[in-house]
Amino acid sequence: MKQEYQDLILKACGALSLRVGENIQTLWSGYGQIVRLHLTGCDRTTVVVKHVKFPTGAEHTDRSHTRKVKSYQVETHWYQNYSTNQNCRIPECLAACSHGDEMLIVLEDLDAAGFDQRRTSVKEREIKACLSWLAHFHALFLGVSPDGLWPVGTYWHLDTRPDELEAMDHPELKSAAADIDKILNDCRFKTIVHGDAKLANFCFSQSGKDVSAVDFQYVGGGCGMKDVVYFLGSCMEERECDKRVPDLLDYYFAELKMSVKMKKEVDFAALEKEWREMFAFAWTDFHRFLLGWMPGHWKINRYSKRLTNEVLQKLKLKPEPKK
């Protein structure tokens, strides 16, 4: 690690020395790594550093590279300028900087804060903990402009994925993609969405009742249902979706209502009605991306296809706009 980065970390944490520990994760497509650092001489024994270094190889398309670069810029801006609360916990940002083709984000170590559990499969308790996190997050940022973030959050947003749209082998959905995107973007009640709210981006407490979220590269504006459908799809298979989604949606909206009442003056009945109507559209929007990105993905199942067919039928019945 460069000396200037070490000096930045030591100063930010008030530490006397640091030692590079384990490599927690290599970033997608070789764009750097996430490492744990061990500190001495301060009240933190460890911190986590996300070190981004753009590759010089030619394996990435210009569009893909540009999207990734912006995603790290957005994440840095997020950590430097936005904050949440205990109901939607995120790691504290201790320092951040960028030099040329490198970026550094120094974060609180969530393991040390009691969120040291990761899950590859979840029970009801963990699913509800994540849905509660999302509900409080969406309530906190309801009506907030995503300044400095993605104008439209989520990594699969249509405008940023023209290659995947072109690759789709579903003519009807391909032709409807722009209409679906517009319906989601034009919803009355907007918030800030996490944008990549999959199970792997939640860190759990030992009990599984409390969570913190990480990875804010695709945080931005939009309908909260985008996070909800992506999360549910990340941890439940086809049969589970059919059986459990209605009750889990009810739980999400109960948590959202409780949080909105505490924070905002808002017509919650209208919000819930609109977002429930957006559920199938948001699911179909992600299904559209998968069909173009990885048509053999396990998430492309009968549940997703059924919701997509429902949306396509609704669009056929939608009256033409008056000229």
Please write the tens of the pLDDT for every residue from 91-147: 999 999 988 889 999 999 999 999 999 999 999 999 999 999 999 999 999 999 999
Instruction: Categorize the per-residue pLDDT at 61 as very low, low, confident or very high, splitting at 50, 70 and 90.
Output: low
Do 92 and 147 share a domain, yes or no? no
Give mean pLDDT, residues 21-46: 94
Q: What total of structural domains would you count in the chain?
A: 2
Instruction: Render the burial of 290-303: b for 16+ CB within 10 Å, e for the rest.
Output: bbbeeeeeebbbeb
Residue 302 belongs to some domain of the structure: yes
Do 104 and 128 share a domain, yes or no? no
* Boundary (domain end) residue, out of 50, 76, 108: 108
C-alpha–C-alpha distance, residues 285 and 247, integer Å: 22
Average pLDDT over the chain reads 94
For residue 13, the enclosing domain spans 3-108
DSSP 8-state code for residue 219: -
Do 198 and 303 share a domain, yes or no? yes
| Tens of pLDDT, residues 267-294 | 999 999 999 999 999 999 999 999 999 9
Q: What pLDDT, on a 0 to 100 scale, did the predictor assign at position 321?
A: 56
Do 139 and 103 share a domain, yes or no? no
Do 146 and 220 share a domain, yes or no? yes
Q: What is this structure's pTM? A: 0.95
Residue 322 belongs to some domain of the structure: no
Do 65 and 140 share a domain, yes or no? no
Instruction: Categorize the per-residue pLDDT at 58 as very low, low, confident or very high, splitting at 50, 70 and 90.
Output: very low
Give CA 319 to chain center in angstroms: 33
Give CA 23 to chain center in angstroms: 22
Do 236 and 102 share a domain, yes or no? no
C-alpha–C-alpha distance, residues 55 and 82, integer Å: 28
Do 45 and 166 share a domain, yes or no? no
Give, to the nearest 10 degrees, the angle between helix 171-185 and helix 268-293.
150
Do 274 and 228 share a domain, yes or no? yes
Do 96 and 133 share a domain, yes or no? no
